Structure formats: structure tokens, C-alpha cells
Amino acid sequence: MTIETLSMAKAINNGLRAAMKADEKVILMGEDIGPLGGVFRVTEGLHAEFGGNRVLDTPLAESGIVGTAIGLAMRGYRPVCEIQFDGFIFPAFDQIVTQLAKLTARHQGHQTFPVVIRVPFGGHIGAVEHHQESPEAYFAHTAGLRVISPSNPHDAYWMIQEAIASNDPIMFFEPKSRYWPKGEVDLSASGSPTYSSRVVREGTGVTLVAYGPMVSMALQAAELAAEEGTSIEVIDLRSLSPIDYAPVVASVQKTGRLVVASEAPGNVSIASEVAATLAERAFYSLEAPVLRVSGFDTPFPPAKLEANYLPDVDRILEAVDRSLAY
């Protein structure tokens, strides 16, 4: 076993490096990702190591980045695109949902499009408008795309490599608020974490489902609840499309209660989908309605008001209390 303690940003950096060493067809594309190393320094050092032909600084044109990546994929490359901030992805929306997501199906699988689109997403960094959004549900709704989001450095290291090795188009949502906290990464791990939900804290009283930036918040809530005698089981989805429901169903069958937490607005969201699916698959195990804790159904506010908008530990615990009150 080889263990290193890394931040998520460094873990993704190392994962990108490993993928580039393993396959010379892997190339990185994005705004300021070359000598600068990206605004979050996730690609730091890769331009110097692999050169400008494999780590490409692009113009400020997201539609051009993704459109070019589609063409490169057709020629046998494995492009990895960085969208600088979540709210900047929409100029590329047409290329992603009407082209990239559908091209493999149009070719009946004879032509693959192994494009990875890295998207720093979520709040809690005090940034300005269009820099703290959660657009993952748009893409999870789109057939032909896989949508994944790591919550810790270990998963990030392995999931980025599996995403690059996949022949499917993958949206890789990176919780920017989790870029800097460090965690252990097992560099010799076997087995894929990418498309499987995982119980990250066992409990018996309430099931709490989260993904990406909300997993750490869910774990904090579970720790505080334990001090008051409430046992919360926390599940990290990791994959948002497809979702591995088996661990969630098994947990709800044990606890009888489910709370789903995410930063995105609750209307027509990943949280909504989890709630609806568990109501179908575990209805007779539920002892209380499924509850959602989410961002509000409003545009993301100015940075000084983000604490009023984003779910926090108190809002999660309030939902847990409501669930237990039934």
C-alpha cells in the first residue's frame, strides 16, 4: 500500500499526469491551464513536463474548446477540457448536449468520443457572479453523458484517470471548495470508485445522501448529531448519471428515513431524482417523507449573501430533526 496525503487539486493533478504518461493521446485544453497551471493550479507543472502540444492554452471561447475536443476525439485523441468556472460552461452547452452527448449513438457505437470536461463547481469560496454555480442537473438529464463528482482526494485521483480512460463523454464536476483540504490517497488501490455510491459513515437512525461539496458538510452534521444521540448514515453518490442506488436503498431499508443534501437549487435537481427513486424503490421501508436540503430556487446571490443561500450543517440537522419527528 502506497499512501500520500494530498489536496484534491494536487490529487487531480497527479491523476492527470498519470493518464498522460499512460497514453500519449491524452491532451489537456483550457483557458490559462498552461504555464499558469489554471486558476486553481490543478494543471500546475504539466505544461513544463509535457509541452505545449499536449497542454494547450486556448482562447476564451468555451464553445471552441469543446467543439475542437470533439474533432480531436474523432481523430483518436482523448481530450480533457477545463471549464474555468462552472458558470462559464453555458457557451459550450450546445456542443455538449446536442453534439457530444449524441454522436456515439448516431454512429451506433462505431465511433467513440472520449472527451472529459472538467468543471470546478459549487460555492463556499466567496466568488462573484457566475463563479459559484451548480449546473450538474442540466447534464445529468442529458442522455449520452456520464456525470461524476468526487468529494475527496482519493476518489478524485482515481476517478479522473478512469474518466479519461473511458470511451464515453464524461462531465467531471470538481467541488472547488474542496480543492485545498488534504486527505489520504492510496496510490496502489484496486477497484473502481467511479460509478458506485459509498457509505462513508455508518448509522442507524437516518440516511443522509450527498455528493461533491456537500459530503464534508454531511459528515460534519453526522458528527454533531452523534453527540446528541442521533445516528446518521452518510452516503456519497460519486456518480450522478448513472446513480448507483443499491447502497441507498439498503440504507433506507435499515434506517427508514432519508434526507438528501446538495448545493444546487432543489427544483428538478439531482436531489429530486434521488427522492423520487427512493420513494419508488423503498416506499414500504420509509417511516417519514423523503426530505431535501438544497440551495434556494433563485439565482446565486452576491458573495456576501452566499451563507444565507447555501445549505449548511444547521439546515441539514433541522431536516434530520423533522424526519425523526414523524
Residues acting as catalytic residues = 131
Say if CB 261 and CB 122 are below 8 A apart. Answer: no
Max intra-chain CA distance, the chain: 60
Cβ count near 173 (within 10 Å): 26
Q: How open is the CA angle 226-7-39, to the nearest 5 degrees? A: 125
Q: Are strands 78-82 and 232-236 parallel, antiparallel or unpaired?
A: unpaired
In what order do the strands lie in the sheet containing 116-121?
55-57, 26-30, 78-82, 116-121, 170-175, 146-148, 239-241
Say if CB 205 and CB 232 are below 8 A apart. Answer: yes
Q: Which of 260, 253, 265 is nearest to 276 (CA)?
A: 260
Q: Which of 16, 291, 44, 35 is nearest to 159 (CA)?
A: 16
Omega within 30 of 0 (cis) for the link into 181: no
Which string of DSSP letters, residue by residue, matches 266-289? STTSHHHHHHHHHHHHSGGG-SS-
